[in-house]
Structure 1
Amino acid sequence: MATYVTSDAHGHLRALDRALSLAAPGPADTLFVLGDMVDRGPDPVGVIQLVRGIPGVRVLMGNHERMMLDALLHDSDIDLGTWALNGGYATAPGLDRLPREEFSDIIDWIANLPLYDVVEAGGRAFILAHAGIDALAARGYLATAGVDCSEGRGASSASREQLMDMMAQQDPQDLLWIRDRFWAEPTGLVGKDGSGPVVIAGHTPSTALGFYAQAGEGVGVSEDGRGMVTPLGACDATGGVADRVDIDCAAAGGHEMGRVGILRLDDGATWYADVLEGE
């Protein structure tokens, strides 16, 4: 049994389908989809339908699913306008074409998606969230639970239950929207010995990481100018282990820079499918 993660397909059904064919997760494997299935690309509803049909899939909510729900469930011009400005124009027509029963089923399913999860793979714990975490708040909560991350200890002693409790205390807005504070600073959860939980997130296109992570030009960009699965934070303080991984491969950017990436947590293997022109 292996564990795979992808995120931010943003309506690019064909690229997601090709990436899944390359990674080929089996029926006994688990695939995590960290949100932003909808908006921007040509077939957001198709992405939802494909994802829901994958055996062993576990889906988290992204900020675009949250915006969609706010627009559809609240009688607010502001929410509708916000969704439209962020790509909802690509999702709404597909939803309108659905039979009422299927529309209701999809909306109910999305409304009940969790914001986070913690999984163990390849001998390590991974914290999963759409956008990232407030690392300072995370360390503070763990300290109250008896897990002292200071002085390079990291959080390797934290149980999955403790990490899940810590995530339950995070601000939902951070889990859906955080950028600068997450990508620019170490989490402090991976210790000097290289052990401890690694955070896997999407939301921020890897092609923009140079700005948000203050890491310089070229970070998160492949040789042909496309997004890529990007580990960050490896240094002496983490025993050379990246404490954060961005898996948003910029599909929202379309065919010029975007692709869908899939990461296997067990061994770090990656697969990509470019977003092609017209899809």
Structure 2
Amino acid sequence: MATYVVSDIHGHFKTFERLLEDVSPGAEDQVWVLGDMIDRGPDPVSVMRACRDLPGAHVLMGNHEDLMRDFLLNGEEDQTAAVNWAINGGGTTMEGLDKLPHDEELDLLEWALELPTAGHVRVGARPFLLVHAGLRPLDLTAGTDWDDAALEGLLERQSVEDVLWIREEFWGAPTGLLDARGEGPIVVAGHTPVPYVEPIADAFDRPARNEEGLCQMMRVGASEATGGVADRWAIDCGAAGGAGWGRILMLRLDDEREFYATVEEGE
């Protein structure tokens, strides 16, 4: 059984479909989708359906699903909710939902609005914390016995605002979760496209773009204090930006193999 993570598909269904065909996760594999299925790209509804129906999928909420939820729950009374979603690319999602039969729309939204905001998984001896945007360090201490209860307790102490929206405070400072032997949980997050992670990260393993100018994941925070292990992995490879530099990454945690699909024109 393999464990994959993917994030920030942003409505690029055809690109995501090609990626799934390439990776071909099996029925016993886990696929963690770290939010932002929707907005900006041309077919966010198909992305939602594909993620919901994918065998072995664990789907988390992103800040764009949060914007949609705020609009749907409060938009009639609060025009700010409508404006916030619209300026963040919500138009394509709204148009797609409006084209659905009413029962199908309600079913899809009921699922999307109840998504969890964080998760964790263990691959071999390594625990991973999976969130859309990141974590706030708080008073985290390396050397903890990171059993499931400890991981869940850490996530429960995070605010929803942080796990969906945090940027500089997360990428710019160590989590404090890894000890000097490099043991402890690694945080995998999207939300901030890697070209924007690069200037705010405290340390990173490689540039945000490869030789062709396309985005690639970055491992952030390796230092002597972490045993040379990066404690934060940035996997938002810029699909929201569309063709020319945006890609969707599916990362296999078991061996850190990176599978990419490049957003093409019209996708």
- RMSD of aligned Cα (Å): 1.5
Displacement of 1:36 in angstroms is: 0.1
Contact 1:38 1:91 (C-alpha < 8 Å) held by counterparts: yes
CA–CA separation in structure 1 for the residues paired with 2:89 and 2:199? 23
Contact 2:193 2:237 (C-alpha < 8 Å) held by counterparts: yes
More deviation in 48-57 or 14-23? 14-23
Displacement of 1:219 in angstroms is: 2.6
CA–CA separation in structure 1 for the residues paired with 2:91 and 2:199? 28
Contact 2:203 2:220 (C-alpha < 8 Å) held by counterparts: no
SS at match of 2:242: helix
CA–CA separation in structure 2 for the residues paired with 1:225 and 1:235? 27
Contact 1:36 1:62 (C-alpha < 8 Å) held by counterparts: yes
Which residue of the other structure, out of 78, 85, 90, is the alignment partner of 2:87? 85
Q: Deviations over 1:241-260 (max 9, x none)?
A: 11000110100010021010
CA–CA separation in structure 1 for the residues paired with 2:13 and 2:115? 20
Which residue of the other structure, out of 112, 115, 121, is the alignment partner of 2:114? 112
Q: 1:155-166 maps to which residues of 2 (within 5 A)?
A: 155=143, 157-166=145-154
Runs of 4+ deviating beyond 6 Å: none
Alignment match, 1:47: 47
CA–CA separation in structure 2 for the residues paired with 1:272 and 1:180? 26
Displacement of 1:215 in angstroms is: 5.1
CA–CA separation in structure 1 for the residues paired with 2:240 and 2:143? 34
Alignment match, 1:64: 64
CA 1:60 to 1:155, structure 2 compared with 1: closer, same or farther past 3 Å? Answer: farther
Q: 1:1-279 maps to which residues of 2 (within 5 A)?
A: 1-74=1-74, 75=76, 76-137=78-139, 139=140, 149=141, 154-155=142-143, 157-213=145-201, 219-279=207-267
Contact 2:182 2:228 (C-alpha < 8 Å) held by counterparts: yes
Contact 1:209 1:215 (C-alpha < 8 Å) held by counterparts: no
Structure 2: which 5+ residue stretches go unaligned? Answer: none
State the one-letter code of the partner of 1:73: L
CA–CA separation in structure 1 for the residues paired with 2:104 and 2:119? 27
Structure 1: which 5+ residue stretches go unaligned? Answer: 140-148
State the one-letter code of the partner of 1:245: W
SS at match of 1:271: strand
Contact 2:190 2:235 (C-alpha < 8 Å) held by counterparts: yes
State the one-letter code of the partner of 2:61: M
CA 1:47 to 1:111, structure 2 compared with 1: closer, same or farther past 3 Å? Answer: same
Contact 1:118 1:128 (C-alpha < 8 Å) held by counterparts: yes
State the one-letter code of the partner of 1:169: R
Displacement of 1:229 in angstroms is: 1.7
Displacement of 1:92 in angstroms is: 0.7
CA–CA separation in structure 1 for the residues paired with 2:195 and 2:3? 25
CA–CA separation in structure 1 for the residues paired with 2:92 and 2:202? 32
Contact 1:39 1:88 (C-alpha < 8 Å) held by counterparts: yes
Contact 1:228 1:249 (C-alpha < 8 Å) held by counterparts: yes
More deviation in 29-38 or 19-28? 19-28
Contact 1:156 1:197 (C-alpha < 8 Å) held by counterparts: no
CA–CA separation in structure 2 for the residues paired with 1:263 and 1:103? 30
State the one-letter code of the partner of 2:111: W
Displacement of 1:190 in angstroms is: 0.9
Displacement of 1:123 in angstroms is: 1.8
Contact 1:156 1:190 (C-alpha < 8 Å) held by counterparts: no
State the one-letter code of the partner of 1:272: Y
What is the aligned length? 265
CA–CA separation in structure 2 for the residues paired with 1:102 and 1:131? 29
State the one-letter code of the partner of 1:16: F
TM-score where L is the length of structure 1: 0.92
State the one-letter code of the partner of 2:57: V
Contact 1:229 1:263 (C-alpha < 8 Å) held by counterparts: no
